[in-house]
Amino acid sequence: MKTGMKQALAALAVAGGLALAGAPAEAQQDVIKVGVLHSLSGTMAISETTLKDVMLMLIEEQNKKGGVLGKKLQAVVVDPASNWPLFAEKARELLTKDKVAATFGCWTSVSRKSVLPVFEELNGILFYPVQYEGEESSRNIFYTGAAPNQQAIPAVDYLMQNEGVQRWVLEGTDYVYPRTTNKILEAYLKSKGVKDEDISVNYTPFGHSDWQTRVAAIKKFGSAGKKTAVVSTINGDANVPFYKELANQGVKATDIPVVAFSVGEEELAGIDTKPLVGHLAAWNYFQSVDNAANKDFIAKWKAFTRNDRRVTNDPMEAHVIGFQMWVKAVEKAGTTDPDKVIDALVGVSVPNLSGGYSTMMPNHHITKPVLIGEVQENGQFNIVSQTPGLVVGDEWSDYLEGSKDLISDWRAPLSCGNFNVKTGKCGGQGKS
Protein backbone atom coordinates (compact mmCIF):
# COMPACT_ATOMS: atom_id res chain seq x y z
CA MET A 1 0.00 0.00 0.00
CA LYS A 2 2.81 2.28 0.94
CA THR A 3 4.53 2.18 -2.41
CA GLY A 4 1.25 2.41 -4.27
CA MET A 5 0.41 5.59 -2.46
CA LYS A 6 3.90 6.92 -2.98
CA GLN A 7 3.72 6.37 -6.68
CA ALA A 8 0.32 7.94 -6.92
CA LEU A 9 1.64 10.95 -5.10
CA ALA A 10 4.65 11.14 -7.35
CA ALA A 11 2.39 10.89 -10.35
CA LEU A 12 0.19 13.67 -9.05
CA ALA A 13 3.12 15.89 -8.33
CA VAL A 14 4.66 15.35 -11.71
CA ALA A 15 1.41 15.65 -13.61
CA GLY A 16 0.72 18.91 -11.83
CA GLY A 17 4.18 20.21 -12.63
CA LEU A 18 3.85 19.30 -16.27
CA ALA A 19 0.44 20.80 -16.64
CA LEU A 20 1.90 24.08 -15.46
CA ALA A 21 5.10 23.96 -17.44
CA GLY A 22 4.21 22.03 -20.56
CA ALA A 23 1.27 23.95 -21.95
CA PRO A 24 2.24 24.77 -25.53
CA ALA A 25 1.94 28.38 -26.56
CA GLU A 26 0.28 27.79 -29.88
CA ALA A 27 0.05 24.96 -32.37
CA GLN A 28 2.28 25.84 -35.25
CA GLN A 29 1.58 24.56 -38.72
CA ASP A 30 5.13 24.11 -39.92
CA VAL A 31 6.53 21.88 -37.21
CA ILE A 32 6.61 18.12 -36.86
CA LYS A 33 6.31 17.00 -33.27
CA VAL A 34 8.40 14.15 -31.93
CA GLY A 35 7.47 12.59 -28.60
CA VAL A 36 10.12 11.69 -26.04
CA LEU A 37 8.70 9.29 -23.47
CA HIS A 38 11.45 8.64 -20.93
CA SER A 39 11.33 8.74 -17.11
CA LEU A 40 13.04 11.83 -15.76
CA SER A 41 12.24 11.05 -12.13
CA GLY A 42 11.88 7.91 -10.05
CA THR A 43 14.03 4.78 -10.15
CA MET A 44 14.48 4.59 -13.92
CA ALA A 45 15.61 8.20 -14.26
CA ILE A 46 19.15 6.96 -13.80
CA SER A 47 19.05 5.28 -17.21
CA GLU A 48 16.39 7.12 -19.13
CA THR A 49 17.40 10.75 -18.61
CA THR A 50 20.40 10.19 -20.86
CA LEU A 51 18.17 8.96 -23.65
CA LYS A 52 16.02 12.06 -23.41
CA ASP A 53 19.16 14.18 -23.79
CA VAL A 54 20.27 12.19 -26.80
CA MET A 55 16.91 12.71 -28.48
CA LEU A 56 17.09 16.45 -27.87
CA MET A 57 20.57 16.49 -29.39
CA LEU A 58 19.50 14.51 -32.47
CA ILE A 59 16.47 16.74 -33.04
CA GLU A 60 18.53 19.90 -32.67
CA GLU A 61 21.04 18.55 -35.15
CA GLN A 62 18.36 17.61 -37.66
CA ASN A 63 16.86 21.08 -37.36
CA LYS A 64 20.25 22.59 -38.16
CA LYS A 65 20.21 20.53 -41.33
CA GLY A 66 16.84 22.05 -42.21
CA GLY A 67 14.48 19.69 -40.44
CA VAL A 68 12.38 17.09 -42.24
CA LEU A 69 10.23 17.73 -45.32
CA GLY A 70 11.08 21.39 -44.96
CA LYS A 71 9.55 21.56 -41.51
CA LYS A 72 11.31 21.98 -38.19
CA LEU A 73 11.14 19.21 -35.64
CA GLN A 74 9.86 19.94 -32.18
CA ALA A 75 10.53 17.67 -29.23
CA VAL A 76 7.65 17.05 -26.84
CA VAL A 77 9.21 15.76 -23.62
CA VAL A 78 6.97 14.14 -21.03
CA ASP A 79 7.94 12.48 -17.76
CA PRO A 80 6.24 9.16 -16.97
CA ALA A 81 8.14 9.13 -13.63
CA SER A 82 9.07 5.40 -13.67
CA ASN A 83 5.40 4.65 -13.14
CA TRP A 84 4.11 2.03 -15.56
CA PRO A 85 0.44 3.03 -15.79
CA LEU A 86 1.55 6.63 -16.20
CA PHE A 87 3.52 5.56 -19.30
CA ALA A 88 0.24 4.61 -20.97
CA GLU A 89 -1.41 7.84 -19.88
CA LYS A 90 1.47 9.95 -21.17
CA ALA A 91 1.57 8.00 -24.43
CA ARG A 92 -2.12 8.73 -24.95
CA GLU A 93 -1.49 12.39 -24.22
CA LEU A 94 1.34 12.51 -26.77
CA LEU A 95 -0.78 10.88 -29.46
CA THR A 96 -4.10 12.64 -28.92
CA LYS A 97 -3.21 16.04 -27.49
CA ASP A 98 0.19 16.75 -29.02
CA LYS A 99 -0.40 14.63 -32.12
CA VAL A 100 3.26 13.59 -32.37
CA ALA A 101 4.45 11.99 -35.60
CA ALA A 102 6.63 9.47 -33.81
CA THR A 103 7.61 8.68 -30.24
CA PHE A 104 10.97 7.58 -28.93
CA GLY A 105 10.77 6.04 -25.50
CA CYS A 106 10.45 3.41 -22.79
CA TRP A 107 13.19 1.40 -21.13
CA THR A 108 11.73 -1.44 -19.09
CA SER A 109 9.69 -4.13 -20.78
CA VAL A 110 6.79 -3.49 -18.45
CA SER A 111 6.61 0.13 -19.59
CA ARG A 112 6.60 -1.01 -23.22
CA LYS A 113 3.84 -3.53 -22.52
CA SER A 114 1.92 -0.75 -20.84
CA VAL A 115 2.04 1.61 -23.84
CA LEU A 116 1.68 -1.07 -26.55
CA PRO A 117 -2.15 -1.14 -26.59
CA VAL A 118 -2.22 2.68 -26.71
CA PHE A 119 0.06 2.84 -29.74
CA GLU A 120 -1.93 0.11 -31.48
CA GLU A 121 -5.28 1.72 -30.71
CA LEU A 122 -4.28 5.22 -31.81
CA ASN A 123 -1.97 4.00 -34.60
CA GLY A 124 1.19 5.71 -33.38
CA ILE A 125 4.84 4.89 -33.99
CA LEU A 126 7.15 3.97 -31.10
CA PHE A 127 10.89 3.42 -31.32
CA TYR A 128 12.05 1.22 -28.44
CA PRO A 129 15.84 1.45 -27.90
CA VAL A 130 16.66 -1.14 -25.24
CA GLN A 131 17.66 -4.78 -25.41
CA TYR A 132 14.68 -6.91 -24.48
CA GLU A 133 13.45 -10.47 -24.17
CA GLY A 134 11.70 -10.78 -27.55
CA GLU A 135 8.44 -12.75 -27.82
CA GLU A 136 6.61 -9.69 -29.10
CA SER A 137 5.99 -7.99 -32.41
CA SER A 138 3.71 -5.07 -32.96
CA ARG A 139 2.93 -3.19 -36.14
CA ASN A 140 3.34 0.11 -34.30
CA ILE A 141 6.58 -0.59 -32.46
CA PHE A 142 10.06 -0.59 -33.95
CA TYR A 143 12.59 -2.45 -31.83
CA THR A 144 16.03 -0.88 -32.24
CA GLY A 145 17.56 -2.60 -29.19
CA ALA A 146 18.83 -6.17 -29.25
CA ALA A 147 16.64 -9.26 -29.28
CA PRO A 148 18.06 -12.22 -27.28
CA ASN A 149 19.78 -13.67 -30.34
CA GLN A 150 21.60 -10.35 -30.84
CA GLN A 151 23.07 -10.26 -27.36
CA ALA A 152 22.59 -13.20 -25.02
CA ILE A 153 23.26 -16.11 -27.33
CA PRO A 154 26.44 -14.73 -28.96
CA ALA A 155 27.77 -13.92 -25.47
CA VAL A 156 27.22 -17.48 -24.30
CA ASP A 157 28.83 -18.76 -27.49
CA TYR A 158 31.87 -16.61 -26.86
CA LEU A 159 32.30 -17.97 -23.34
CA MET A 160 31.88 -21.55 -24.52
CA GLN A 161 34.40 -21.24 -27.32
CA ASN A 162 37.00 -18.87 -25.93
CA GLU A 163 36.89 -19.58 -22.23
CA GLY A 164 35.79 -23.21 -22.32
CA VAL A 165 32.98 -22.58 -19.86
CA GLN A 166 31.04 -25.71 -18.90
CA ARG A 167 29.04 -24.60 -15.87
CA TRP A 168 26.62 -21.69 -15.90
CA VAL A 169 25.05 -19.49 -13.27
CA LEU A 170 22.13 -17.52 -14.70
CA GLU A 171 21.69 -14.68 -12.24
CA GLY A 172 18.87 -12.23 -12.79
CA THR A 173 16.54 -9.68 -11.29
CA ASP A 174 13.04 -11.04 -10.83
CA TYR A 175 11.01 -9.66 -13.74
CA VAL A 176 10.05 -10.47 -17.30
CA TYR A 177 13.28 -9.72 -19.21
CA PRO A 178 15.63 -11.90 -17.13
CA ARG A 179 13.06 -14.67 -16.79
CA THR A 180 12.40 -14.94 -20.52
CA THR A 181 16.06 -14.49 -21.47
CA ASN A 182 17.11 -17.15 -19.00
CA LYS A 183 14.44 -19.51 -20.31
CA ILE A 184 15.83 -19.05 -23.81
CA LEU A 185 19.41 -19.44 -22.59
CA GLU A 186 18.59 -22.58 -20.63
CA ALA A 187 16.99 -24.16 -23.68
CA TYR A 188 19.95 -23.07 -25.80
CA LEU A 189 22.56 -24.41 -23.36
CA LYS A 190 20.75 -27.74 -23.11
CA SER A 191 20.64 -27.96 -26.89
CA LYS A 192 24.43 -27.60 -26.73
CA GLY A 193 24.70 -30.57 -24.38
CA VAL A 194 25.02 -28.77 -21.04
CA LYS A 195 23.55 -30.94 -18.29
CA ASP A 196 20.88 -29.85 -15.83
CA GLU A 197 23.21 -29.95 -12.83
CA ASP A 198 25.62 -27.58 -14.59
CA ILE A 199 23.05 -24.79 -14.78
CA SER A 200 21.98 -22.80 -11.78
CA VAL A 201 19.25 -20.20 -12.20
CA ASN A 202 18.57 -17.64 -9.51
CA TYR A 203 16.52 -14.49 -9.15
CA THR A 204 16.76 -11.63 -6.69
CA PRO A 205 14.36 -8.74 -6.10
CA PHE A 206 14.75 -5.28 -7.69
CA GLY A 207 17.37 -3.20 -5.95
CA HIS A 208 18.82 -6.21 -4.10
CA SER A 209 21.73 -4.86 -2.12
CA ASP A 210 23.01 -7.67 0.07
CA TRP A 211 24.84 -10.02 -2.26
CA GLN A 212 27.00 -11.86 0.29
CA THR A 213 25.02 -15.09 0.17
CA ARG A 214 24.65 -15.12 -3.59
CA VAL A 215 28.32 -14.44 -4.29
CA ALA A 216 29.28 -17.17 -1.82
CA ALA A 217 26.87 -19.51 -3.58
CA ILE A 218 28.40 -18.65 -6.94
CA LYS A 219 31.86 -19.39 -5.57
CA LYS A 220 30.57 -22.70 -4.26
CA PHE A 221 28.93 -23.57 -7.57
CA GLY A 222 32.21 -22.71 -9.28
CA SER A 223 34.25 -25.11 -7.19
CA ALA A 224 32.98 -28.27 -8.84
CA GLY A 225 36.08 -28.63 -10.95
CA LYS A 226 34.63 -27.25 -14.19
CA LYS A 227 35.13 -23.81 -15.67
CA THR A 228 32.21 -21.67 -14.49
CA ALA A 229 30.78 -18.38 -15.71
CA VAL A 230 27.97 -16.12 -14.55
CA VAL A 231 25.45 -14.78 -17.04
CA SER A 232 23.99 -11.70 -15.41
CA THR A 233 20.66 -10.15 -16.29
CA ILE A 234 20.77 -8.18 -13.04
CA ASN A 235 19.09 -4.86 -13.64
CA GLY A 236 19.82 -1.31 -12.68
CA ASP A 237 20.84 -0.37 -9.17
CA ALA A 238 21.43 -3.93 -7.97
CA ASN A 239 24.54 -4.16 -10.14
CA VAL A 240 26.78 -1.87 -8.12
CA PRO A 241 26.53 -3.82 -4.84
CA PHE A 242 26.81 -7.06 -6.82
CA TYR A 243 30.09 -6.05 -8.42
CA LYS A 244 31.35 -4.57 -5.17
CA GLU A 245 30.70 -7.86 -3.41
CA LEU A 246 32.39 -9.81 -6.21
CA ALA A 247 35.44 -7.63 -5.82
CA ASN A 248 35.43 -7.91 -2.03
CA GLN A 249 35.14 -11.67 -2.05
CA GLY A 250 37.94 -11.84 -4.61
CA VAL A 251 36.01 -13.37 -7.52
CA LYS A 252 38.27 -12.46 -10.42
CA ALA A 253 37.38 -12.52 -14.09
CA THR A 254 40.17 -15.00 -14.73
CA ASP A 255 38.48 -17.47 -12.37
CA ILE A 256 34.75 -16.90 -12.77
CA PRO A 257 33.95 -14.36 -15.48
CA VAL A 258 30.65 -12.50 -15.31
CA VAL A 259 29.00 -11.53 -18.58
CA ALA A 260 26.30 -8.91 -18.21
CA PHE A 261 23.54 -7.76 -20.55
CA SER A 262 22.44 -4.69 -18.65
CA VAL A 263 25.76 -3.18 -17.64
CA GLY A 264 27.19 -0.55 -19.91
CA GLU A 265 29.47 2.46 -19.67
CA GLU A 266 26.83 4.44 -17.78
CA GLU A 267 26.42 1.79 -15.06
CA LEU A 268 30.18 1.39 -14.63
CA ALA A 269 30.49 5.11 -13.99
CA GLY A 270 29.36 4.48 -10.41
CA ILE A 271 31.86 1.75 -9.59
CA ASP A 272 35.57 1.49 -8.97
CA THR A 273 36.39 -0.80 -11.90
CA LYS A 274 39.91 -1.85 -10.95
CA PRO A 275 38.86 -5.13 -9.31
CA LEU A 276 36.44 -5.83 -12.16
CA VAL A 277 38.91 -5.84 -15.03
CA GLY A 278 38.11 -8.69 -17.38
CA HIS A 279 34.43 -9.12 -16.56
CA LEU A 280 32.40 -8.99 -19.72
CA ALA A 281 29.43 -7.33 -21.29
CA ALA A 282 27.69 -8.04 -24.57
CA TRP A 283 26.21 -5.16 -26.56
CA ASN A 284 25.84 -3.97 -30.12
CA TYR A 285 27.85 -0.84 -29.45
CA PHE A 286 30.58 0.28 -27.07
CA GLN A 287 31.94 3.75 -26.58
CA SER A 288 35.39 2.30 -27.31
CA VAL A 289 34.42 1.33 -30.89
CA ASP A 290 37.26 2.77 -32.91
CA ASN A 291 35.97 4.56 -36.00
CA ALA A 292 35.37 8.07 -37.28
CA ALA A 293 31.55 8.02 -37.00
CA ASN A 294 31.70 7.05 -33.36
CA LYS A 295 34.40 9.56 -32.47
CA ASP A 296 32.36 12.25 -34.11
CA PHE A 297 29.26 11.20 -32.16
CA ILE A 298 31.12 11.16 -28.83
CA ALA A 299 32.55 14.61 -29.49
CA LYS A 300 29.10 15.97 -30.33
CA TRP A 301 27.60 14.36 -27.24
CA LYS A 302 30.23 15.84 -24.94
CA ALA A 303 29.75 19.24 -26.53
CA PHE A 304 25.95 19.02 -26.27
CA THR A 305 26.00 18.03 -22.60
CA ARG A 306 28.90 20.41 -21.87
CA ASN A 307 30.48 17.65 -19.82
CA ASP A 308 33.73 16.02 -20.80
CA ARG A 309 33.14 12.99 -18.63
CA ARG A 310 29.79 11.94 -20.07
CA VAL A 311 29.86 8.47 -21.57
CA THR A 312 27.89 6.98 -24.42
CA ASN A 313 26.17 3.59 -24.41
CA ASP A 314 24.25 1.06 -26.44
CA PRO A 315 20.65 2.31 -26.03
CA MET A 316 21.88 5.75 -27.10
CA GLU A 317 23.19 4.27 -30.32
CA ALA A 318 19.84 2.52 -30.78
CA HIS A 319 18.11 5.91 -30.65
CA VAL A 320 20.62 7.34 -33.11
CA ILE A 321 19.82 4.51 -35.53
CA GLY A 322 16.07 4.69 -34.91
CA PHE A 323 15.93 8.44 -35.39
CA GLN A 324 17.88 8.34 -38.65
CA MET A 325 15.62 5.54 -39.89
CA TRP A 326 12.52 7.54 -39.07
CA VAL A 327 13.86 10.66 -40.82
CA LYS A 328 14.72 8.63 -43.89
CA ALA A 329 11.35 6.88 -43.95
CA VAL A 330 9.44 10.14 -43.60
CA GLU A 331 11.41 11.60 -46.49
CA LYS A 332 10.79 8.46 -48.50
CA ALA A 333 7.06 8.53 -47.78
CA GLY A 334 6.87 12.30 -48.23
CA THR A 335 4.46 12.54 -45.30
CA THR A 336 4.29 11.82 -41.57
CA ASP A 337 1.10 9.79 -41.97
CA PRO A 338 1.73 6.78 -39.67
CA ASP A 339 0.51 4.08 -42.07
CA LYS A 340 2.73 5.32 -44.87
CA VAL A 341 5.75 5.80 -42.57
CA ILE A 342 5.32 2.33 -41.06
CA ASP A 343 5.38 0.84 -44.54
CA ALA A 344 8.28 3.02 -45.62
CA LEU A 345 10.39 2.11 -42.58
CA VAL A 346 10.81 -1.55 -43.53
CA GLY A 347 13.95 -1.89 -45.62
CA VAL A 348 15.40 1.48 -44.63
CA SER A 349 19.13 1.21 -44.08
CA VAL A 350 21.27 3.72 -42.15
CA PRO A 351 24.86 3.75 -40.89
CA ASN A 352 25.27 2.66 -37.28
CA LEU A 353 28.08 3.75 -34.99
CA SER A 354 29.94 0.45 -34.91
CA GLY A 355 31.08 0.86 -38.47
CA GLY A 356 28.39 -0.72 -40.61
CA TYR A 357 24.81 -0.34 -41.75
CA SER A 358 21.69 -1.33 -39.86
CA THR A 359 18.55 -2.22 -41.76
CA MET A 360 14.95 -2.30 -40.56
CA MET A 361 13.65 -5.79 -41.20
CA PRO A 362 10.03 -6.78 -41.96
CA ASN A 363 9.67 -7.99 -38.36
CA HIS A 364 10.34 -4.41 -37.15
CA HIS A 365 13.68 -5.44 -35.65
CA ILE A 366 17.03 -4.28 -37.03
CA THR A 367 20.29 -5.87 -38.07
CA LYS A 368 23.26 -5.24 -35.78
CA PRO A 369 26.74 -6.55 -35.11
CA VAL A 370 27.27 -8.18 -31.70
CA LEU A 371 30.28 -7.05 -29.68
CA ILE A 372 31.74 -8.62 -26.56
CA GLY A 373 33.77 -6.30 -24.35
CA GLU A 374 35.90 -6.76 -21.27
CA VAL A 375 35.81 -4.13 -18.52
CA GLN A 376 38.97 -2.05 -18.35
CA GLU A 377 40.41 -0.03 -15.51
CA ASN A 378 39.16 3.24 -16.97
CA GLY A 379 35.52 2.08 -16.98
CA GLN A 380 35.48 1.49 -20.71
CA PHE A 381 35.26 -1.79 -22.58
CA ASN A 382 37.99 -3.52 -24.50
CA ILE A 383 36.27 -5.19 -27.45
CA VAL A 384 37.48 -8.78 -27.54
CA SER A 385 35.09 -10.23 -30.06
CA GLN A 386 32.82 -9.04 -32.83
CA THR A 387 30.49 -11.07 -35.00
CA PRO A 388 31.85 -11.15 -38.55
CA GLY A 389 28.53 -10.08 -40.11
CA LEU A 390 25.31 -8.47 -38.96
CA VAL A 391 22.79 -10.41 -36.92
CA VAL A 392 19.08 -10.09 -37.69
CA GLY A 393 16.91 -9.57 -34.63
CA ASP A 394 14.77 -12.64 -34.01
CA GLU A 395 11.56 -11.68 -32.22
CA TRP A 396 10.20 -15.21 -31.71
CA SER A 397 12.96 -17.31 -30.19
CA ASP A 398 13.86 -20.55 -31.94
CA TYR A 399 14.56 -22.18 -28.59
CA LEU A 400 11.18 -21.85 -26.90
CA GLU A 401 8.18 -24.10 -27.37
CA GLY A 402 5.24 -22.18 -28.72
CA SER A 403 7.36 -19.47 -30.25
CA LYS A 404 9.73 -21.36 -32.53
CA ASP A 405 7.10 -21.84 -35.23
CA LEU A 406 6.15 -18.17 -35.29
CA ILE A 407 7.46 -15.52 -37.63
CA SER A 408 6.61 -11.89 -38.01
CA ASP A 409 6.35 -10.01 -41.29
CA TRP A 410 4.58 -6.67 -41.43
CA ARG A 411 4.79 -6.24 -45.20
CA ALA A 412 1.58 -5.98 -47.15
CA PRO A 413 0.38 -9.44 -48.14
CA LEU A 414 1.13 -11.13 -44.82
CA SER A 415 1.05 -8.18 -42.42
CA CYS A 416 1.11 -10.35 -39.33
CA GLY A 417 3.14 -10.27 -36.15
CA ASN A 418 2.72 -13.89 -35.15
CA PHE A 419 2.30 -16.03 -38.26
CA ASN A 420 2.48 -19.73 -37.45
CA VAL A 421 4.40 -21.48 -40.24
CA LYS A 422 3.12 -24.91 -39.14
CA THR A 423 -0.58 -24.12 -39.21
CA GLY A 424 -0.25 -21.40 -41.82
CA LYS A 425 -2.40 -19.04 -39.80
CA CYS A 426 -1.86 -15.59 -38.42
CA GLY A 427 -2.36 -15.35 -34.67
CA GLY A 428 -0.90 -18.69 -33.75
CA GLN A 429 0.33 -19.26 -30.25
CA GLY A 430 2.12 -16.56 -28.36
CA LYS A 431 0.97 -13.06 -27.74
CA SER A 432 1.05 -10.49 -30.48
Partner 1 sequence: MFRLFALLCVTAALLAARPGPVAAQGTADAFALLASDNYADIEKGVVAVAASGDPAAEAVLTALADGRLSYRPADRALFVREKAGTLLDAATGRPVAEAPAGLKPVRLNNRVRRALEAALGTLTLMASDPARRLAAAEAIFKSRDAAALPMLARALAAEKDARVRRALEEARAAVQLATKDAAVSDRVAAVSLLEERGDREALALLSAAAADAAPAVALSARTAAAAVERRLALAAAVQDVWYGLSLGSVLLLAAIGLAITFGVMGIINMAHGEMVMLGAYVTFLVQEVCRTRAPGLFDWSLPVALPLAFLVAAGVGAAIERGVIRHLYGRPLETLLATWGISLILQQGVRSLFGPTNREVGAPSYMAGAFDLGGLSITYGRLWIVAFALAVFLGLLAVLRRTPFGLKMRAVTQNRRMAAAIGIRTPRVDTLAFALGSGIAGIAGVALSQIDNVSPNLGQSYIVDSFMVVVFGGVGNLWGTLVGALTLGVANKFLEPYAGAVLGKILLLVFLILFIQKRPRGLFALRGRAVEA
- Asked if 355 is part of the footprint of partner 1 (rule: CB under 8 A), the reply reads no
- Asked if 270 is part of the footprint of partner 1 (rule: CB under 8 A), the reply reads yes
Span of 148-156, 211-219, 294-302, 312-320 interacting with partner 1 by CB under 8 A: 211-219
- Asked if 8 is part of the footprint of partner 1 (rule: CB under 8 A), the reply reads no
Q: Which is nearer to partner 1, 192 or 220 (CB)?
A: 220
The least CB distance from residue 202 to partner 1, in Å, is: 7
Q: Which is nearer to partner 1, 60 or 174 (CB)?
A: 174
Residue 365 to residues 52, 106, 145, 393, Cα–Cα distance (Å): 21, 16, 8, 5
Among 110, 224, 299, 414, binds partner 1 (CB under 8 A): 224
Crossing angle (nearest 10°) for helices 292-305 and 45-64: 100
The least CB distance from residue 112 to partner 1, in Å, is: 20
> How would DSSP label each residue in 328-341?
HHHHHHTS--HHHH
Among 89, 120, 163, 337, binds partner 1 (CB under 8 A): 163
CA distance 224 to 226: 6
Number of alpha carbons in the 13 Å side-chain half-sphere of residue 420:
14
CA distance 259 to 242: 13
- Asked if 253 is part of the footprint of partner 1 (rule: CB under 8 A), the reply reads yes
CA distance 181 to 119: 25
CA distance 308 to 362: 39
Binding to partner 1 by CB under 8 A, coded x per residue (else -) over 276-305, reads --x---------------------------
Total residues at interface with partner 1 (CB under 8 A): 60
- Asked if 45 is part of the footprint of partner 1 (rule: CB under 8 A), the reply reads yes
Q: Which is nearer to partner 1, 167 or 364 (CB)?
A: 167
Q: Which is nearer to partner 1, 202 or 429 (CB)?
A: 202
Among 2, 64, 65, 306, binds partner 1 (CB under 8 A): 2
Among 90, 183, 214, 364, binds partner 1 (CB under 8 A): 214
The least CB distance from residue 278 to partner 1, in Å, is: 5
Residue 176 to residues 109, 201, 400, Cα–Cα distance (Å): 7, 14, 15
The least CB distance from residue 279 to partner 1, in Å, is: 9
CA distance 387 to 427: 33
Residue 56 to residues 19, 35, 53, 86, Cα–Cα distance (Å): 21, 10, 5, 22
Residue 384 to residues 103, 281, 312, 324, Cα–Cα distance (Å): 35, 10, 19, 28
CA distance 386 to 368: 11
Among 249, 303, 357, 414, binds partner 1 (CB under 8 A): 249
Strand ranges for 225-279 from DSSP E: 228-233, 258-260
Give the footprint of partner 1 on residues 359-378 (CB under 8 A).
374, 377
CA distance 408 to 361: 10
Q: Which is nearer to partner 1, 123 or 378 (CB)?
A: 378
CA distance 226 to 219: 12
DSSP-derived 3-state class of residue 84: helix
Q: Which is nearer to partner 1, 174 or 296 (CB)?
A: 174
Span of 8-16, 60-68, 188-196, 362-370 interacting with partner 1 by CB under 8 A: 8-16
Q: Are strands 406-409 and 391-392 parallel, antiparallel or unpaired?
A: unpaired
Q: Which is nearer to partner 1, 47 or 418 (CB)?
A: 47
Among 60, 61, 121, 174, binds partner 1 (CB under 8 A): 174
Span of 97-105, 188-196, 242-250, 296-304 interacting with partner 1 by CB under 8 A: 242-250
31: left (phi over 0), alpha (psi -120 to 50) or beta: beta
- Asked if 160 is part of the footprint of partner 1 (rule: CB under 8 A), the reply reads no
Sign of CA dihedral 19, 25, 26, 32: negative
- Asked if 197 is part of the footprint of partner 1 (rule: CB under 8 A), the reply reads no
Give the footprint of partner 1 on residues 94-133 (CB under 8 A).
none
Find the DSSP H helices in 122-238: 152-163, 176-191, 212-221
Positions touching partner 1 (CB under 8 A) are 2, 5-6, 9-10, 13, 40-41, 43, 45-46, 49-50, 162-163, 174, 202-205, 207-210, 212-214, 216-217, 219-220, 222-226, 237, 240-241, 244-245, 247-250, 253-255, 257, 266-267, 269-272, 278, 374, 377, 382, 384
